[in-house]
């Protein structure tokens, strides 16, 4: 058995400075050094760094990805393995430093229309946890003439580099809280928890192309079959989001790092269940690929002896075919299955919420309706490009009103109906 330690350093505020330090809960970030490092990428023309704090009258738009700053305690280990480092390392063991209370937010000129919004105060702030974080926002201007895939890659890697840079500041900090997770081998699990029901968790990760992609250890998931992981690997940056799906329900990198389903399953592991593993399942567009992935998921679950499964969706619409296919395959061989999703049920909630259903899906948890409408009041400061509001998912031409308020669906608010259950919304049948 190995161990994985999450060393959480609590941060209450961020100050842009000429040095790097953590003092009395305040994170000091060397702005010039961080900016210079990011601009080493020739695909970026400029990077502006701003800070948004909880309760401030600040709106961040458009938002591409959100990451929690993390690094490794030891020099001979790496974080975000395969993405910005050599792939010859193993995630999910050893000690990772977490700058708890901080997010790196990537913003700037739009990569794709499915990017989102964060309000730090007002009614919009109630829809996601990021309004409660100290956000270090990277407002990036792409170099002229680059392609959209090059733009997406530059923004994605800048976010990861910044997250690791800030995580490194936590090395040597003496005040922290550490949580330790055992990392069992299969043999140890079968011996130690032989009498407990065997459970697998299938976590979808979109891999549809057209900038709807996630990365497994730095590899575009379009080229991957399902990946069997220890739960701690996802906590340790094994999956990085490059996903331009709808903001309300796409998994950002932060969501993969802090997946509440994994945390809850680990709380029960060895007590009421035997958590046999996490299956990260790419979601592709073609039906034949969906069948291929579903069969591989089923095979893996059966090899592990699973009697129960949780399957969570990433995105919406097309991935619901994969979600239902997994339920159908699992239930037909006696693997009891719970699905976790959200809905697009129309602004009045009267429309069909999912693009696909199956009779075997008889235990479904939903995390809200992305079509719910909301009026967001004006903010004193906008970080990013406010015109994007009229084009992002959830918005429309005229969403940004003359008085500075916004009329939109919560589909445009980052993580508002997150399909891992990290927020507080639900849908009630009436």
Model confidence over 183-221: pLDDT tens digits?
Answer: 999 999 999 999 999 999 999 999 998 888 999 999 999
**Cα Rg of the chain, angstroms:** 21
pLDDT exceeds 90 at position 315 = yes
Model confidence over 251-295: pLDDT tens digits?
Answer: 999 999 999 999 999 999 999 999 999 999 999 999 999 999 999
> pLDDT grade, residue 424 (50/70/90)?
confident
Instruction: State residue 425's pLDDT score.
Output: 85
Residue % of the chain over a pLDDT of 70: 99
pLDDT exceeds 90 at position 356 = yes
Q: Which residues contact 265 (CB under 8 A, 6 or more apart)?
A: 199, 201, 231, 273, 275, 310
Helix/strand/coil (H, E, C) string of the chain? CEEEEEEEEECCEEEEECCCEEECCEEEEEHHHHHHHHCCCCCEEEEEEEEECCCCCEEEEEEEEEECCEEECCCCCCCCCCCCCCCCCCCCCEEEEEEECEEEEEEECCCCCCCEEEECCCHHHHHCHHHHCEEEEEEEEECCCCCHHHHHHHHHHHHHHHHHHHHHCCCCCCCCEEEEEEECCHHHHHHHCCCCCEEEEEEEEEEEECCEEEEECCEEHHHCCCEEECHHHHHCCCEEEEECCCCCCCCCHHHHHCCHHHHHHHHHECCCEEEEEEEEEEECCCHHHHHHHHHHHHHHHHHCCCCEEEEECCCCCCHHHHHHHHHHHHHHCCCEEEEEEEECCCCCCCCCCCCCCCCCCCCEEEEEECCCEEEECCCCEEEECHHHHHCCCCCCCCCECCCCCEEEEHHHECCCCCCCCCCCCCCCCC
Count of CB atoms situated within 10 Å of the CB of 23: 9
Phi-psi region of 367 (alpha: psi -120 to 50; beta: other; left: phi over 0): alpha
Instruction: State residue 23's pLDDT score.
Output: 97
With b for 16 or more beta-carbon neighbours within 10 A and e for fewer, the 354-374 pattern comes to beeebebbeebbbbbbbbbeb
What backbone torsions phi and psi does residue 273 show, to the nearest 5 degrees?
-140, 165
Written as six digits, the tokens of 20 are: 């790097």
Instruction: State residue 77's pLDDT score.
Output: 82
pLDDT exceeds 80 at position 44 = yes
Residues 49/137, Cβ–Cβ less than 8 Å:
yes
Helix/strand/coil (H, E, C) string of 169-209? CCCCCCCCEEEEEEECCHHHHHHHCCCCCEEEEEEEEEEEE
Query: Which residues are catalytically annotated?
Result: 244
pTM more than 0.85: yes
Closest alpha carbon to 199 in 99, 132, 298, 275: 275
Instruction: State residue 349's pLDDT score.
Output: 86
> pLDDT grade, residue 63 (50/70/90)?
very high
In this prediction, residues 345-350 reach a mean pLDDT of 88
Instruction: State residue 95's pLDDT score.
Output: 96
With b for 16 or more beta-carbon neighbours within 10 A and e for fewer, the 138-159 pattern comes to bbbebeeebeeeebbbbbbbbb
In this prediction, residues 72-80 reach a mean pLDDT of 86
Closest alpha carbon to 209 in 299, 110, 83, 112: 112
């Amino acid at each position: 058995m190995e161990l994985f330690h999450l060393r959480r350093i609590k941060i209450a505020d961020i100050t842009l400075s000429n040095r790097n330090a953590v003092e009395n809960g305040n994170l000091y970030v060397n702005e010039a050094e961080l900016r210079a490092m990011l601009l080493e990428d020739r695909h970026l023309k400029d990077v502006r760094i701003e800070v948004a704090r909880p309760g401030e009258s600040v709106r961040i738009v458009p938002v591409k990805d959100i990451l929690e700053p993390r690094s490794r305690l030891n020099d001979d280990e790496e974080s975000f393995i395969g993405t910005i480092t050599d792939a010859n390392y193993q995630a999910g063991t050893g000690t990772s430093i977490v700058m708890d209370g901080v997010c790196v937010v990537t913003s700037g000129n739009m990569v794709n229309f499915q990017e989102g919004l964060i309000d730090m105060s007002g009614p919009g702030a109630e829809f996601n946890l990021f309004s409660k974080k100290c956000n270090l926002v990277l407002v990036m201007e792409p170099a002229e003439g680059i392609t959209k895939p090059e733009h997406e890659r530059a923004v994605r890697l800048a976010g990861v580099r910044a997250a690791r840079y800030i995580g490194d500041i936590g090395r040597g900090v003496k005040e922290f809280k550490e949580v330790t997770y055992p990392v069992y081998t299969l043999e140890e699990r079968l011996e130690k928890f032989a009498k407990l029901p065997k459970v697998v968790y299938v976590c979808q990760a979109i891999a549809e192309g057209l900038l709807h992609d996630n990365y497994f250890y730095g590899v575009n998931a379009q080229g991957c079959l399902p990946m069997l992981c220890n739960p701690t690997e996802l906590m340790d940056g094994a999956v990085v989001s490059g996903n331009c799906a709808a903001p309300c329900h796409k998994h950002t990198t932060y969501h993969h790092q802090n997946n509440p389903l994994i945390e809850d399953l680990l709380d029960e592991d060895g007590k009421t269940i035997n958590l046999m593993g996490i299956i990260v399942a790419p979601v592709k567009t073609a039906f034949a690929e969906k069948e291929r992935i579903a069969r591989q998921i089923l095979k893996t679950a059966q090899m592990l002896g699973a009697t129960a499964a949780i399957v969570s969706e990433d995105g919406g619409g097309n991935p619901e075919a994969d979600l239902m296919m997994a339920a159908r395959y699992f239930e037909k061989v006696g693997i009891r299955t719970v699905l976790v999703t959200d809905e697009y049920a129309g602004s009045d909630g009267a429309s069909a919420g999912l693009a696909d259903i199956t009779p075997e899906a008889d235990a479904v948890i939903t995390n809200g309706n992305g079509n719910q409408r909301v009026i967001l009041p004006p903010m004193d400061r906008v970080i990013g490009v406010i015109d994007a509001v009229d084009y992002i998912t959830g918005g429309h031409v005229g969403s940004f009103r003359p008085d500075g308020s916004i009329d939109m669906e919560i589909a445009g608010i980052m993580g508002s109906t997150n399909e891992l259950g990290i927020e507080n919304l639900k849908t009630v049948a009436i």
